[in-house]
Structure 1
Amino acid sequence: MFQKVHRLFSKRVHQYFPVLLSMLWLLSINAVNAATLEHKDQQAVLKWLQQYQPNVLHAKKSTTFSNFINQIANKEVILVGEIHDRYDHHLTQCAILKSLHERNPKVALGVEWFQQSFQPVIDDYLAGNIDEATLLSRSEYYERWRYDYRMLRPIMQYAKANHIPVIALNAPMELTQKISKGGLAALSPSERAQLPQMIAPANEAYRSRLKQIFAQHMGSDKAKLENFLMVQRVWDATMAHNISRFLKQHPGWQMIALTGSGHIIHGNGIPQDLAQQNPNLKMATVISGTAGDVQAGMVNYVVQTQPLDLPATGKLGVMLDQTPTGVVIKALMPKSAAMQVGLQKQDRIVGLNNQNIQNLSQILQQLSQFAPKEVINLEIARTGQSKPLRYRVTLQ
């Protein structure tokens, strides 16, 4: 499991630095040896969940999923970890949400995927005032989170259909970017006020784990290390604060919080922050994995899952940058679909299948609808060309 959590952290490490934050490889990231599920709509997902009864490890003993739900039903907070690109982890989260909601209508869902400043957008989506495409665009989901939204759709659709509040837990990216460069001191007073007043340093065990990850990917720069650690703690503390605030405002409610596993294992991060704010809080930590992955004391419960995936989507094989003028190609993968038809660095994508493209959200939403080997039509603005160039691209 450490390797899996390390993989989660290592993906997030690169988000501390603006140049890497601004780019995205449009390549598939599939779980190793994952079975593919043809979940074409919410009905198919719910039908699949009806037969989903994984074993659950608790205190080194195996129990049924039903017994697991019985054991956590009285908890005020259930922290359910994930590896962000694992569909089976998200299906487990959906199964837990569904099972607990069927017992208790006073259930709220907290998610790391959305940043707290976009709460009004989420509320509009849940109320039916905007559609999914508008939710993703206005929340800047693809600019800020970027994982395949198809994995999260069943959870969001279940919450919407059952009138479950969804709380944006995460800290604003604008602030964590600044902290990654200059620590908390880089924030203005108004920016600092958007974060919890108390952000404690990582304890020694947590700090040691994070230092290992930093050393492998970022070297030994001490100042950058401290900023890296602070960004992690800002994420933890902000999510814990938003969970606590909701529960204080809604006595008697239960919160299911979905976050990266690295924020909850070994009692560090969010669990520790919640316990400091409320020592009497009834809480459980849950991750997905297998018996061989588990270290003693990692979490309270391990739902035993196997890798599952959705059908692959077609890929251009480019690195994109969101600029003031639009979506620009920063790099092309060798032998990629984009390179084979003649797309170039610094090309600006202005249209896809006769729809205008102005931001990453638009192009990624469009591409998620196409399978490998399907053909799309791109319009490209290129320096030195007075008119847009048109390309037919067979996705890989």
Structure 2
Amino acid sequence: MKSSFTFITLSILLLAACKKKDKPGDMPQAPNWEIVRNFHQDDSYSGGAKITVFNGDVFFSTFGHRGISPGSSGSLNEHLNATFFYQIGEEWYRYATTDEAISNLKAFNGELYGIRHRMSIKTTRPVIQYYNSYILFRWKNNNFEDIDTLEYTDNNLIEKSDIGNITLWAFGGKLHMVATTTNTARIWELSGNQLVKKPEEYNMSCSGTVATDNKEVAFTQVIQLTSGQDRTEYRVRGHYYNNNTFSTGPEYTFISEIGFNSIDAASYAAINSHIWGIGYENDKIKNYDNDQLVQGLSKGKVLRGDILVSNNGNLYMMLGDEKSPGGCAGLAIFDGTVLKEIPFVLPEPLDPCSKLIDATEDNGVVYLLLMNRFQYVIVRSK
């Protein structure tokens, strides 16, 4: 199972320390985030981790075939392991499973929906293969109310095939399941408590997905072509789905070779019907379709571009600064129109440069899932 979506980064960012020594007279910044909960390493996995907030309560899911503690990354378990935590008021509850993971959660029409991805071993030789089932459920009375189960037979007549990365998307009062593999996008619509496959199917490679409810699903495509040892060509374009048809935007080519480099951003992403360069001129976002530049960062901040998280039609990304471009100088949120900056000052004892894993918002409060010294932690903005 693949985890939450990632973008391909087209430039190498130098990693630097996140915390500078205070100069005489410098005043330390007060933390603008507070810890919601730390999660034990034994309950955490490297395959994926997601958070959702519904009616003020936090839900956290982690899954994978490997743990996240030091040394566990090399130990592969044939079975999928998962842990699901949910909050009721101030109390937390834990639900652990084998061969099944809660891979998606989404608030829709005043209720919480989700996908449980069940993986059962089909064969272990010559390589391990799995049967895949996708159970759409509604969260009712602190339990799963199953709605429908999808078991997909692919074009090669292989039953219970893996449909790829899943995004839940709302359009026109209906819930949709958008599934992307390395070369195909497929859509299912919830109709009469059944997942019905829509006829639209699109062949493309996809490195990232941004789903904006009641508007579109934007797919980022980056094709990398290497010529010899010193020339790499990147072809970038966006594909868009509006609930009826797929459309394709212009293709942009960026070249890196000895003595020449036309890569002008840290990474590229499709959102709001356009292709954008994240970190254009370090601190801007560029719309390549109309040359619009979006600004909004404080002086000295730069868009890293190496860590981008998509949720609720937004991109969440980490900021560095001019002296430490790979640092953790802030958090930026981009909705395809406006770029907003939020300070990133974590409370003790968290690593000040904890890695961003997932993000969401609820009633104006931003929640982040971070990796802090091989441990998942949820924080929220003050």
- Please, what TM-score do these two structures have when normalized by structure 1? 0.25
- Please, what TM-score do these two structures have when normalized by structure 2? 0.25
Which structure has the higher relative contact order (CA within 8 Å, separation 6+)? Answer: 1
Higher strand share: 2
Higher helix share: 1
